[in-house]
């Protein structure tokens, strides 16, 4: 079974050619902590003769220093490469390893068992064809076993090996094995896992890993390696409709224009009629260009450049599909979201969504429900915490082409990215487009923002005052509006306290409610700016993400961020409403600056330091800046000055 290379009497090129075209199986190992995943992979590498002499020497030394097997080799150390993993004896990161036998090549992802690293398991599972789910025979089916199995089911992995490990610790008991298998199959049936192969084994002792175990003659099935070599993995992507996410528009000279990318599914031939989405333009394939020359046909997994028989507008992120079987196009969806960050998912906050080669802005709604992975019960939720799975509505800033994830993993899966930190915070599966998106369209209006601003003789904009409670935002904003009113400008002041008496009276002060508070106010501000007004917004607005969201709703130069910079100690000293005193006493939870953060602006257009400037002087300074920017005295055909 082991792949020991013998080139005697062989032509090296023939040998390499043979092994280059061997079938490739991608699989993951997952399960609860200490189930023996790393030991299993280490055993597979060791038995496959892919551990070289220098690695064996290092393994010997590491086993004595970090090992958990006394004088024996600790094969888990072949995979656990991080210092923290060796010190703790656990897997933290996803470890990818390659090995091969005479029959097949393998890429295995060793994924963490701890609940806090479930996000890493999702990463490893996203490209896998098969999952090896380990269970410690002494412990049986645990919470993390169910969690990982549910994620395997969600991500569309059809083939599962239930590896009941550490059978040596239970005397190779068939009764123990049968009991665990019955328990697991009951849960697997609930989540739709059907193709399950159950194997009793001992990774530590090498039982049922590469060869069938003599210690468990009652097991009539294959060893793990026999199964991995023989399991039939159909190339599902070749049988799906053609999908090519455009990664790059290749224009080396005026005579060539091609659209490059890796085929996500299906196949394409010269002469095929294609459509580009979301624009809907059509053409025929003129050439299929590769590094090795032109092809008459290309299939899923190949990287190609298509040229067309006519010029149409295609950009990075577009999806090329066949005319006969196109993808759907929408900007609102129901999606299953797996949250992967320590900071909770906040409904209403904008995140970057990456699907295929396209990145755009997404807003996640309040979850319809989250899933208890132990019982599969659907629970009410206001947000999603780390490792939680829920169903949410997702709204995008523009339409995309997609397939439901259950039909095509490549064009139905996405990741969510925090706009400020660029951290990947979630993964998602598109379930279906919301029908309401088909019923809502932008209505063309003849009187626009520019016309309304010209009539008022001013440049419509939002003056966004932000700062701690007690910083003086409302006082300064009120003085600025009085000055603008005296100058004949058309204004409206949105104050945080006043808005919470009406529009936002249903919101509290949790992070999620603060996000929704600002989202609503930002939308109202946008409407007021569209009406040609100078709208003054005085809100703490503690999070940069929501202030950026408000800015993105408006055109360039229409959002003026005014940071009322007051140190916490000074704001607390003023405490005009007695709020800091209540917060310090514990009777006012989630108070900004005390037990809820305030993220100061990094690039505000105007900064007012109230320890140095009186409210009247601050208002005068702001008016002068607005005048310089052409907001107060506005000529419609003049260039806009930036702040």
Active site residues: 541
Q: What are residue 633's phi and psi, to 5 degrees? A: -100, 105
Helices (H) and strands (E) in the chain, counts: 18, 29
Residue 386 three-state SS: coil
- Written in H, E and C, the secondary structure of 324-380 is CCCCEEEEEEEEEEEECCCCCECCCCEEEEEECCEEEEEEECCCCEEECCCCCCEEC
Q: Report CA-CA distances (Å) from 153 to 125, 197, 275.
A: 10, 15, 32
Q: Is the four-CA dihedral 585, 587, 592, 594 of positive or negative sign?
A: positive
Tokens representing residue 115 in the block: 């609940």
Inter-residue contact 273 to 290 (CB < 8 Å): no
Q: Report CA-CA distances (Å) from 476 to 339, 572, 616.
A: 40, 18, 7
* Helix (H) or strand (E) segment spanning residue 17: helix 12-20
Residue 641 three-state SS: coil
Q: Report CA-CA distances (Å) from 486 to 525, 623, 632.
A: 22, 12, 12
Looking at residue 307, the DSSP 8-state letter turns out to be E
Q: How far apart are CA 261 and CA 357, in angstroms?
A: 9
Q: Is 220 exposed, middle or buried (0-12, 13-18, 19+ CB in 10 A)?
A: exposed
Backbone dihedral region for residue 142 (phi beyond 0: left; psi -120 to 50: alpha; all else: beta): beta
Distant-in-sequence, close-in-space partners of 133: CB < 8 Å, separation ≥ 6: 29, 30, 31, 145, 148, 149, 152, 160, 161, 162, 163
Pairing assessment for the beta strands 293-294 and 281-290 based on DSSP bridges = antiparallel
Q: How far apart are CA 150 and CA 157, in angstroms?
A: 10
Q: How far apart are CA 643 and CA 640, in angstroms?
A: 10
Pairing assessment for the beta strands 303-308 and 319-322 based on DSSP bridges = unpaired
Q: Is 239 exposed, middle or buried (0-12, 13-18, 19+ CB in 10 A)?
A: exposed
Report the candidate in 95, 168, 110, 106 with the shortest Cα–Cα distance to residue 137: 168
Q: How far apart are CA 322 and CA 407, in angstroms?
A: 16
């Amino acid at each position: 079974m082991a792949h020991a290379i013998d080139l005697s009497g062989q032509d090296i090129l023939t040998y390499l050619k043979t092994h280059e075209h061997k079938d490739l199986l991608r699989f993951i190992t997952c399960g609860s902590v200490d189930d023996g995943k790393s030991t299993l992979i280490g055993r597979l590498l060791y038995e496959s003769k892919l551990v070289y002499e220098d690695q064996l020497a290092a393994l010997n030394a590491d086993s004595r220093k970090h090992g958990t097997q006394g004088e024996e080799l600790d094969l888990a150390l072949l995979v656990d490469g991080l210092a923290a993993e060796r010190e703790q004896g656990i897997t933290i990161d996803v470890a990818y390893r390659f090995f091969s036998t005479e029959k097949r090549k393998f890429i295995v992802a060793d994924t963490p068992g701890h609940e806090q690293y479930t996000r890493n398991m999702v990463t490893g599972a996203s490209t896998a064809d098969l999952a090896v789910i380990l269970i410690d025979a002494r412990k049986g089916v645990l919470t993390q076993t169910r969690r990982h199995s549910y994620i395997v089911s969600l991500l569309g992995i059809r083939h599962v090996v239930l590896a009941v490990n550490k059978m040596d610790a239970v005397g190779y008991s068939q009764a123990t094995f049968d009991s665990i298998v019955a328990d697991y199959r009951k849960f697997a049936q609930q989540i739709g896992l059907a193709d399950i192969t159950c194997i009793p084994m001992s990774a530590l002792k090498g039982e049922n890993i590469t060869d069938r175990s003599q210690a468990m003659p009652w097991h009539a099935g294959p060893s793990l390696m026999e199964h991995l070599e023989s399991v039939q993995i159909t190339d599902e992507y070749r049988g799906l409709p053609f999908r090519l996410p455009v990664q790059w528009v290749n224009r080396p000279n005026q005579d060539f224009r091609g659209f490059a990318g890796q085929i996500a599914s299906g196949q394409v031939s010269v002469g095929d009629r294609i459509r580009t989405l979301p624009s809907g333009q059509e053409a025929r394939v003129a050439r299929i260009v590769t590094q090795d020359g032109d092809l008459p046909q290309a299939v899923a997994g190949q990287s190609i450049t298509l040229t067309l028989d006519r010029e149409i507008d295609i950009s990075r992120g577009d999806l090329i599909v066949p005319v006969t079987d196109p993808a759907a196009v929408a900007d609102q969806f129901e999606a299953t979201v797996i949250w992967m960050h320590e900071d909770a998912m906040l409904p209403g906050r904008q995140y970057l969504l990456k699907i295929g080669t396209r990145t755009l802005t997404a807003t996640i709604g309040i979850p319809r429900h989250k899933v208890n992975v132990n019982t599969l019960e659907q629970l009410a939720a206001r947000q999603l915490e780390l490792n939680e799975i829920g169903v949410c509505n997702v709204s995008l800033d523009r339409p995309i082409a997609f397939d439901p994830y259950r039909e095509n993993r490549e064009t139905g899966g996405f990741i969510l990215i925090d706009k400020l930190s660029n951290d990947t915070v979630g993964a998602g599966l598109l379930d279906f487009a919301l029908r309401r998106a088909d019923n809502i369209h932008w209505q063309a209006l003849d009187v626009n923002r520019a016309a309304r601003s010209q009539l008022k003789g001013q440049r419509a904009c939002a003056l966004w005052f932000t700062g701690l409670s007690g910083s003086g935002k409302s006082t300064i904003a009120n003085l600025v509006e009085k000055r603008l009113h005296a100058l004949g400008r058309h204004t409206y002041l949105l104050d945080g306290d006043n808005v919470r008496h009406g529009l936002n009276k249903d919101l509290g002060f949790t992070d999620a409610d603060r996000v929704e508070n600002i989202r609503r106010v930002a939308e109202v501000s946008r409407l007021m700016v569209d009406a040609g007004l100078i709208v003054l917004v005085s809100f703490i607005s503690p999070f940069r993400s929501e202030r950026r969201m408000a800015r993105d709703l408006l055109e360039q130069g229409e959002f003026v961020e005014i940071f009322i910079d007051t140190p916490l100690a000074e704001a607390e000293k003023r405490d005009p409403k007695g709020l800091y005193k209540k917060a310090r006493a514990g009777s006012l939870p989630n108070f900004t600056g005390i037990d809820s953060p305030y993220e100061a602006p990094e690039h505000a257009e105007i900064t007012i330091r109230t320890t140095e400037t009186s409210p009247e002087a601050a208002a005068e300074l702001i008016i002068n800046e607005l005048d310089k920017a052409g907001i107060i005295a506005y000529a419609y055909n003049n260039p806009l000055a930036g702040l």
